[in-house]
A and B are shown apart, each in its own frame.
Chain A
Amino acid sequence: MKKLLASIAGLGLGLLASTGVSFAADTKACFVYVGPIGDFGWSYQHDQGRLAVEKELGVETAFQESVPEGADAERAIERFARSGCNIIFTTSFGYMEPTNKVAKKFPDVKFEHATGFKRESENVSTYSGKFYQGRYVQGKIAAMESKSGVAGYIASFPIPEVVRGINSFILGAQSVNPDFKLKVVWVNSWFDPGKEADAANTLVAQGADILTQHTDSTAAMQVAQEKGVKAFGQASDMINFGKDVQLTAIIDDWSPYYIERVKAIKDGTWKQHDVWLGMDKGDVVMAPYTNMKPETAKAAAEIEAKIKSNEFEPFTGPITKQDGTEWLKDGQKADIGTLLGMNFYVKGVDDQLPQ
C-alpha cells in the first residue's frame, strides 16, 4: 500500500514538473479581476482585452475573477506567478500592495497593475485610463440636459480614481452652469446591483434628473430607464438597458494596451513604465451621444475632439478647492502626481469627502 501511494505521488510530481516545463516555453498572460467577468462593466472590459490578446497574438491566457482586494488577492497573484505566467495584469486599485509584494518574490515575472501608483521593484509597471476626460464631457452634457440642475453620482470607494471622476464631472458641468449641483452617494462596494439600484432610487427621489455612477453594474441605468431620468453608462456601452435614457457611456478599451504589452514580453522588449492612457490613444472611448438635444450632442462632440487632440485638459486653472483655497492658477495645468493621488474635492461638490 505504501509503495503504491509513493508511486502515485511520484507520478503526480512528474506530471507537475513536465507541465511546468511546457508552460515556460510559451508566453502566458494572466489576469486578476475584482468582479465577475459577467458584470458587463469594469471586469468585463478587461476580459475583452484579454480575449483580444488571445486572438491577436495566439498566446495562452488565464484569469481569475471576483478576487477580493487584500489578502486573497495576494494568494491569487502568487498562485499565478508560480503557475508559469510571464506577465500578470492585476486590474483593481486595491491590488496595489499585494502586487508589489508578490513582484519582489518573483523577479522574473512581469507585473502590470491598473490604476495604482506604486512600483517598488523593476518588474512592476502601472497603467491607467484617463477616464476623467470622459467624465468632463459627461458633466457638460448633464448641465445642458438637466432640468432640475441636480445630478446624482453613485460612487464606490473614496480613492483618487473616483474622486478625480467626481471633480472632472462637476468642472464640466460648471463650464455650462456655474450653480450646477451634484449629490454624491457612496455605496462602499464596486459591485452590488441591489444597492446600486437603491442608491439610484434615492438620488431620483431627492431630485436628481441625471444619474452617473462609478460602480460596476447596469442596475442604475435600469432604474433610470424605469423612472424616466437620463443616465450615463459606466465602463461599457449600456444602451441595451437604457435605450431611452442613456446619454453616452465611457467605454474602457484595454485591448490596444494589453496587446502591446504581451507582445513586448514575447519579443523580450518589456520595460517598466507608468502610463496614463487617454482619449488620444484610443483607450477611453465615448459611446454614441443619444437621447439628447442636437446642440448638446454638438457641444459634447466638440469638447471630446479637443480633449482627444490634447488641445484641452479638464484640470486646467483657475480651479478652487472645496475649502475655498486656490489649487490652480488661470491657465495652469494639474501635475500628474496631484491627479494620481487626488484626495480633495473642487468647489461645487455638495458632499463631504470620506477620509
Chain B
Amino acid sequence: MGLVEAILLTVFTAATPLLIAALGELVTERSGVLNLGVEGMMIMGAISGFAFAIYTGNPYMGALAAIIIGVLFSLLFAFLTISLVTNQVATGLALTILGLGLSGLWGEAFIGVPGIKLQPIIVPLLSDIPFFGKLFFQQDIIFYFSILLLIGVSWFLFKSRAGLVLRAVGDSHTSAHALGLSVIKTRYLAVMFGGACSGLAGAHLSLVYTTQWIENMTAGRGWIALALVVFASWRPNRVLIGAYLFGAVGIAQLHIQALGFKIPTQFLSALPYLATIVVLVIISQNRRLTMVNTPASLGKGFVADK
C-alpha cells in the first residue's frame, strides 16, 4: 500500500462521522430548529453502538441500536423545544451535557473492554480496480451509507415535495402554518432524522474509527459537525467538501510532522480551523447567496395561533 493510499484511507475514516452528523444537523436546521445537542447525541450513539455490539455479538446490531437511541434522545429535545417551546440553544446545550453524563454512566462497565469492529465490505470486481478500488470499495458499511445519505439528502431537499415543505417550514413557520402545512410534525421528523444521523456518526467512532469505549471519545466532533453546517451555508454538497477538507488537513498535518518538516506543530494543529475560517470568508463574500440558503426561522420557537 502506497503512502498516498494510506493517507487517503485515514482521511476517509476521519471525515465519515463528520459528514453523517453534519448532514443530519443540516436537515434539522433547514426545518428551522437549531439543535446544539449533536455532541451529546453522538456520544450516546457511540456508547449504544459499542454496548449493543457486545450484547448481541453483532456490530451491525450496534449500529442499528445507535440510530434508535439517537432518535429517542433527539425526541427528548424535540418534545422540549417544539411542544413546550423551550429555548433551543439552552436545551441543545443541556442535551449535550446530559449525553456526556449518561454515556459515562452507561459506559462504566465497558472501560477497558475491547469492542467488535465493523468489518469492511469488499465489493466484488470493483475492489480490484487499482488505487480507487482500495479506497472506495473496501470500506465499512457506514462509509457507503454516508455517500448514499449525501445523495439522498440533496435529492430530498431540492427535488421532492416533502423537502420543499421542510424548507418552507424553516424559512417562515407562520406562512407555512397559514398554508396548512404541519410545522410541528415536520420539525419533529427533522429533529429525529438529525438524531438518527448523529447516533450513527457516534457508532462510527466506537465501531470503526477506534473500536473501544472511552468517556468523551467524541472529543468535540459534534461541535465540528455543527460548524460544518454553517461552513456549508446549509448546502449538502458543501458539507461533503467541508468534512473531507477538515479531515484531510487534520491528517496531512500529522504526516508533515512525521516527515520531519520544521514547522511549529501548534500551527499545524490549528490548520484545520484556519482553513475553515478562510473558506468561510470566501463563501460569505457572496452575501446574497448566503442569505438565500440560511433558514430564516432558524432557532425560533413556533406557537400556532388558534
A201 close to chain B: CB less than 8 A: yes
Instruction: Determine the chain A residues whose CB is within 8 A of the CB of B107 once the complex forms.
Output: 38
The answer to whether A39 touches B254, judged by C-beta atoms less than 8 angstroms apart, is no
- Choose from B3, B215, B220 the contact partner of A206 (Cβ within 8 Å): B3
Q: Which of A89-97, A185-193, A297-305 contacts B (4 or more CB under 8 A)?
A: A185-193
Q: Is A241 an interface residue (CB 8 A)?
A: yes
A186 lies within 8 A of B265 (CB)? yes
Q: When the two chains form their complex, are residues A218 and B212 in contact, meaning their CB atoms are under 8 A apart?
A: yes
- Kindly provide the distance from the CB of B252 to the nearest chain A CB, expressed in whole angstroms: 9
How many residues of chain A are within 8 Å of chain B by beta carbon? 43
Stretch at the interface among B121-129, B142-150, B174-182, B203-211: B203-211
Contact A38–B210 (Cβ < 8 Å): no
B260 within 8 A of A: yes
> Are the C-beta atoms of B6 and A201 separated by less than 8 Å?
yes
A-facing residues in B87-129 (Cβ within 8 Å) = 104, 107-108, 111-114
Q: CB-nearest residue of chain A relative to B11?
A: A198
If A38-B104, A198-B10 touch, does A191 touch B269 (CB 8 Å cutoff)? no
Which residue of the partner chain A has the closest CB to B260? A350
Q: Hey, which chain A residues are within 8 Å of B6, CB to CB? A: 201, 204-205
Contact (Cβ within 8 A) B255 A202: yes
* A193-B112 in contact given A198-B250, A203-B258 (Cβ < 8 Å): no
Q: Say how far B301's CB is from chain A's closest CB, in angstroms.
A: 30
Instruction: Flag if A186 contacts B269 (CB, 8 Å).
Output: yes
Closest to B251 in A: A198
A36 touches B254 (CB 8 A): no
Bound: A199/B209 CA distance, A = 12
Chain B's nearest CB lies how many Å from the CB of A326? 24
B227 to chain A, nearest CB (A): 16
Cα-based distance from A161 to B269 in the complex (angstroms): 21
Q: Other CB < 8 Å A-B pairs besides A184-B257, A198-B250, A218-B212, 5 of them? A: A194-B209, A202-B7, A205-B255, A241-B212, A350-B260
Pairs A–B under 8 Å by Cβ, sample size 29: A35-B216, A36-B104, A37-B215, A38-B111, A38-B214, A66-B216, A152-B258, A158-B265, A183-B260, A185-B254, A186-B257, A186-B265, A188-B269, A193-B214, A193-B219, A194-B14, A195-B219, A197-B209, A202-B255, A203-B258, A204-B6, A205-B255, A206-B258, A217-B212, A217-B214, A218-B112, A218-B212, A352-B262, A354-B265
